[in-house]
Amino acid sequence: MSQILTDAPQSPKILPIHVPTDEERKGLTKKEVAADHPTWCPGCGDFSVLALYFKLIEKRKMHHEKITTVAGIGCSSRFPYFVQAHGAHYIHGRALPFASGISLSRPDLHVFVFGGDGDAFSIGGNHFNHTARKNIKMTYCVMDNWVYGLTKKQTSPTSPLGFKSKTDQWGAIDYPINPMKQAIAAGATFVARTTHTNPNHVLQMMEAAMDHDGFSFIECLSECVEFYEGAFDSSNPRKGGQFNLVPPTHDVTDEGAAYKLAGEAFPGSFGIFYKVNKPTKNAKETEINKSMQEKVKGLKDWEILQKNFDRMK
């Protein structure tokens, strides 16, 4: 007869530690929530995204233990190291399924995912589509710099035609992905666009995304000063560009209108393009569980399994 060689591991012993109650707790200060000093190049757009994430944590009085920051690989994806909270630095392109594993098994957490355009739309492109269509609850902020930063200036799926990179010395020839169109078409239920040069707007979008019950996607333009300097100048009023908000008349539940906004020539509009409420996968799975558990009500786990075994005699 077989035997189990390893005993079930014991739960750790409970230490007498006083955890402050919610009333005793103040919002975290920037100092408490900042971890390693970012390794980004001075002037990199990613700094402002991080600063605004800190602001969001502070403003929304999130507690350390409830913050879960996930990323793939890239300059922008180093994000979790800079946040003093639970976090995971996963592999290139696969942050979304990893984050889905957390989201679907831990309804008490709101998961934030940060990453780059290559991570999101090249190697991770298929995961983007499926996480969006399943409407898995989490916030995904893509720091789009139109280039591969970490690997030092190769063409990215969002690089515009003609961009001279190390892999396209004569200028990019492949038609770029439009992240907003991609998100709308994939079925994301919250789709917003912002830029690192407008901090208030970034924070607004982050808050709205966090409050959305579903897969919330933000494309945040974030300049790579090292390999694509000036990419977004025409969206920055301080550089003589234009920062246009989504017109107040825009109906965010109108998919066609959202798609049209997404098709505007750069710099386009900033704000929430699309937002609808649809049941999340999280909610649907919970619904299935409820109805299945109704049938085994009052039974212990082993008794539920016993019923299966009784049928196999």
Ligand X SMILES: Cc1ncc(C[n+]2csc(CCOP(=O)(O)OP(=O)(O)O)c2C)c(N)n1
Q: Indicate whether 92 belongs to the interface with ligand X (CB under 6 A).
A: yes
Q: N- to C-terminal Cα distance for the chain?
A: 18
Judge if the upstream peptide bond of residue 267 is cis by omega within 30 degrees of 0.
yes
Q: Name which of another protein, ligand SF4, ligand X, none residue 276 binds, using a CB cut-off of 5 to 8 Å depending on partner kind.
A: none
Q: Name which of another protein, ligand X, ligand SF4, none residue 148 binds, using a CB cut-off of 5 to 8 Å depending on partner kind.
A: ligand X
Q: Name which of ligand SF4, Mg ion, ligand X, none residue 124 binds, using a CB cut-off of 5 to 8 Å depending on partner kind.
A: none
Q: Is the dihedral of CA 133, 139, 143, 148 positive or negative?
A: negative
Q: Indicate whether 149 belongs to the interface with ligand SF4 (CB under 6 A).
A: yes
Q: Which stretch binds ligand SF4 (CB under 6 A): 48-56, 82-90, 159-167, 222-230?
A: 222-230
Out of 224, 258, 261, 272, which residue is the one contacting ligand SF4 (CB under 6 A)? 224
Three-state DSSP at 197 gives coil
Q: Which stretch binds another protein (CB under 8 A): 47-55, 125-133, 150-158, 268-276?
A: 125-133
Out of 100, 135, 156, 159, which residue is the one contacting ligand X (CB under 6 A)? 156
Q: Indicate whether 61 belongs to the interface with another protein (CB under 8 A).
A: no
Q: Name which of another protein, ligand SF4, Mg ion, none residue 117 binds, using a CB cut-off of 5 to 8 Å depending on partner kind.
A: Mg ion
Q: Indicate whether 255 belongs to the interface with ligand SF4 (CB under 6 A).
A: no
Q: Name which of another protein, ligand SF4, ligand X, none residue 104 binds, using a CB cut-off of 5 to 8 Å depending on partner kind.
A: another protein
Three-state DSSP at 46 gives helix
Q: What is the rounded distance in angstroms from the CA atom of residue 191 to the CA atom of residue 182?
A: 10
Q: H or E segment at 294?
A: helix 281-294
Out of 27, 43, 61, 126, which residue is the one contacting another protein (CB under 8 A)? 126
Q: What is the rounded distance in angstroms from the CA atom of residue 10 to the CA atom of residue 301?
A: 19
Q: Which amino acid is at 36?
A: D
Q: What does R_g of the chain's alpha carbons equal in angstroms?
A: 22
Q: Name which of ligand X, another protein, ligand SF4, none residue 277 binds, using a CB cut-off of 5 to 8 Å depending on partner kind.
A: none
CB of 45 to another protein, least distance (A): 21
Could you tell me where the beta strands, DSSP code E, fall in 162-213? Answer: 190-195
Task: Quote the tokens at residue 6.
Answer: 């390893």
Would you say how long the chain is, in residues?
313
Give whichever of 182 and 280 is closer to ligand X, judged by the CB atom.
Answer: 182
* Nearest 10 degrees: Cα torsion 132, 137, 141, 142: -30
Q: Which stretch binds ligand X (CB under 6 A): 30-38, 142-150, 161-169, 300-308?
A: 142-150
CB of 256 to Mg ion, least distance (A): 29
Q: What is the rounded distance in angstroms from the CA atom of residue 84 to the CA atom of residue 99?
A: 18
Contacts with ligand SF4, 31-60, as mask; x by CB under 6 A: ---------xx--x-x--------------
What is the CA angle 55-60-62, rounded to 5? 95
Who's near 48: CB < 8 A, 6+ residues apart?
A: 196, 197, 199, 202, 222
Q: Indicate whether 182 belongs to the interface with ligand X (CB under 6 A).
A: no
Q: Which stretch binds another protein (CB under 8 A): 142-150, 249-257, 264-272, 294-302?
A: 294-302
Who's near 289: CB < 8 A, 6+ residues apart?
A: none
Q: What is the rounded distance in angstroms from the CA atom of residue 64 to the CA atom of residue 85?
A: 5
Q: Please report, as ranges, the residues that interact with another protein according to CB under 8 A.
A: 1-9, 11-12, 14-15, 17, 19, 32, 35-36, 63-68, 70, 80-81, 84-91, 94, 96-102, 104-106, 108-109, 126-127, 129-130, 285, 288-289, 292-293, 295-296, 301-302, 304-306, 308-309, 311-313
